[in-house]
Structures are given as C-alpha cells and as structure tokens.
Structure 1
Amino acid sequence: MQPIDQFLSHRLKTLRKEKGWSLDKTSKETGVSKAMLGQIERSESSPTLATLWKIASGFNTSLSAFIESNQDVSTGNEIREADQLRHKPSIDEMLVAPLFPYDQQYGFELFELTLMPGYERLSDPHVKGVTEHVIVIRGEMELLIEGKWQPMKQGEAIRFAADKEHGYRNLSDQPAVFHNLIYYAES
C-alpha cells in the first residue's frame, strides 16, 4: 500500500483529469483553496478530514474514494478487519478504518472511527440526501446535530441528516470508537 499523501496526490490528479478541471475550477467546486489543492497534489501537505470531505463533495464522490486505495468491489462474501484497516488518513487526531468503502450497488460506506481524548471536529454539510448512522462501540462521545451536542454512550445509535452542519467530539480521557454508516441518496 502506498503512503496516504502519495495516494491522495494521485487520486486528486486522476479525478481532476477525468473531469477536465483546472485547479481554479476544482477550488470553486470544492471550496478548498487552489494553493491547498496544489500542495496536496505535490504531496507537500496532509489535509484535514474536513478538507477531504470538501474535496469528495465537490467531486460528488464518497469520502472512502480519498482514504481507501483498494476499492475493488467484492461480488461475494468479504471479511475485513478493522485492526488491519485502521490508519490516520489526515492530520486530524482521528483514526479511520474503512470497513466497507463506498459501493454504488449498496449506496453506502461504513467506517470504524476512533476519536482520541479531547478531539472535536465540526463538519460542513454533505451533499443533499446524505444520511449518517452512528453506533458507539466503545467509550462516550457527543454529536452536534441541529445545533445541539447530543451525548452518546456505548451501545447507543443515532441516524441524522448529514446534509446539515454536524460535528463529533470526545470530552472524555479515553478514546471513543464508533461505526459510521454513511448513506448517499441517489442523485
């Protein structure tokens, strides 16, 4: 597996080429500065997860398209282990295991996410129709939904419209681990 910065560089260049977009056009579509896009393409900068989301949304693609280098779709049973998939795809203090990258057949992607103690991330709205399903596996965390932080503990689950501003935080002194199933409504 190639280092994440090289993967991101290659993926961004490939998507821009497929769309025929300049860096200016990509900046307008994603809301990410031309300078930052250039740094990512030259493997000079590691973006935050929020920046990766902006880029993915601008290209109308899934987040896993930017963090999972092997996106072969399985036609049968598939076993994937979070311990083997878990990594830090950005400069954020969040660990990500892409359990099942986006597959158009199913319309979703499934992640195991680990929030380190004290971590907080606000997320811009995703494209219209995106829904997130969060299930806390270990620890405690909070979700920002409709402007209010919702405490969640192990075993609790929630579904919310992710096409509105939302966020995740861990105020405890222990890591919080949760599954996040992100469903993309058909365009």
Structure 2
Amino acid sequence: MHSILMDETLPTIDSRLAARLRALRSDQGLTLDGLAERSGVSRSMISLIERGESSPTASVLDRLAAGLGVTLASLFADAERADAKPVVRRDDQVTWQDPATRYRRRNLSPPGFPSPIELVEVDLPPDARVTYDSAARAAVIDQQVYVLEGTIDLTVGDETHRLSAGDCLAMRLDRPVGYHNPTSLPARYIVALTTESARKPNAVKR
C-alpha cells in the first residue's frame, strides 16, 4: 500500500500540507498576517502549520482554505501541471485523518491534472461530528454530497438534511456546514466540488 495516511506517516502528510499552504499563500502574495486576517486563524497557528509543527483540525484547515479561496481538498492536492497523468490509482491517493474527530478524507482526483471538478471520499465514524463554520469565502464553491453507505445529518445554514445511501445533496458553500453521523455504524460519502474560477476558460483551479 502506498496511500499517504496521517497515522502511519505523520511527518509526510504534515510536511506535504506545510509546503502546499506556503505555496498557495505565496502565489496570492499574502503575508502570514494577511492570511490570518482573511481566515480568522492566528498568525502563530499558520506559522506552525507551515513549518510542519502542528496537526491542524478540519475546522482550522477549512478556515484557511476559505481565506485562500480554494477548497479544503486543494490543501492536499498538487499544483496543476501540463504533464500530470489523468489516472490515479487508489493506493496513490492522498488520505488525511482529522485529529479531532478521526474522520478520514481521501482525495480521489488525479493530482495536478487540470479539471474543474474535485472528488473526495469521506469516512465518518459513528457519532462523529464535523463542523465547518466558514461562511465568507474568497471564491464561490459549489459541492454535491452523495452517500455511499450509512446515514449522515448534513446541516447547511439553519437547515438539516438526513441523507442515507443513494441520496445526493447539492449546495453552495456560503453558509456554515456540519456533518454528523447519528448512528452506531460508519458512514461513507463522496463529495464533488467546483469553484467559480475553475468554471472560467483557462483558469487555474489549484
């Protein structure tokens, strides 16, 4: 197996995240203070993450992604490149586990391949709850959630949707979003995302 798992290769996944965050911030000409102001994450925390000295939670990473105008999946992706392969095998897909909730997300999309769509597979443990409180974002992001196994309560703003296997919910990420597995069994679902800039011709998404 070659999957990058946080539990098995902590320095690798943290260093990958650190380099990606530095690159995204640099590409936008943002200082640490500038990203802190945009994201609501402290300068000191961002610095620790960029040095690979902190394992941030999903909530923190979502605020950073919102401030940068990218998706959370983009923080674990590669920059787009012309020679990227259009296929990625499951053993080579980057997998990250939230240290707070133990929920696991896997980037399914081929790394670095130019595409307006990002696909992520998520495993949500029994009774786990993940909340993304970022409402204001630097880019328009739309997503759809398709449940493969189990049941999840997906809250978008003030509205909660109970989704079971085979159900699909479309939403725009302009309000706080929460995922909760209300059962004693694991849940698994696919998330498809696209950003406003990704839908424009010749735009670089990641």
Q: Which amino acid aligns with 2:118?
A: E
Deviation readout 1:6-30 (Å, 9 max, x if unpaired):
1122222223333333221121122
Structure 1 residue matching 2:25: 3-state secondary structure: helix
1: CA distance, partners of 2:19 / 2:49: 9
Say whether 1:154 aligns with 2:171: no
Contact kept? 2:106, 2:121, Cα under 8 Å: yes
Say whether 1:38 aligns with 2:47: yes
Paired-residue identity, %: 25
Change (3 A) 1:23 1:129: closer
Summarize the alignment of residues 23-102 of structure 1 with structure 2, pairs less than 5 Å apart. Answer: 23-69=32-78, 77-81=86-90, 84-85=92-93, 87-92=95-100, 93-100=102-109
Corresponding position of 1:113: 122
1: CA distance, partners of 2:126 / 2:173: 23
**What displacement does 1:185 show?**
2.0
Q: Normalising by structure 2, report the TM-score.
A: 0.77
2: CA distance, partners of 1:150 / 1:44: 37
Change (3 A) 1:119 1:65: same
Number of residue-to-residue matches in the alignment: 186
Change (3 A) 1:146 1:175: same
Extract unaligned runs of 5+ from structure 1: none
Q: CA RMSD in A?
A: 2.7
Contact kept? 1:65, 1:102, Cα under 8 Å: no
Contact kept? 2:141, 2:193, Cα under 8 Å: yes
Q: Which amino acid aligns with 1:64?
A: A
**What displacement does 1:52 show?**
1.3
2: CA distance, partners of 1:118 / 1:86: 24
Deviation readout 1:148-167 (Å, 9 max, x if unpaired):
22111111111112211221
2: CA distance, partners of 1:79 / 1:89: 20
Extract unaligned runs of 5+ from structure 2: 5-10, 201-206
Corresponding position of 1:125: 135
1: CA distance, partners of 2:71 / 2:31: 21
Contact kept? 2:71, 2:141, Cα under 8 Å: no
Deviation readout 1:22-64 (Å, 9 max, x if unpaired):
2211211222111111111222211111211221221222322
Change (3 A) 1:161 1:45: same
Q: Normalising by structure 1, report the TM-score.
A: 0.84
**What displacement does 1:129 show?**
3.1
1: CA distance, partners of 2:12 / 2:136: 27
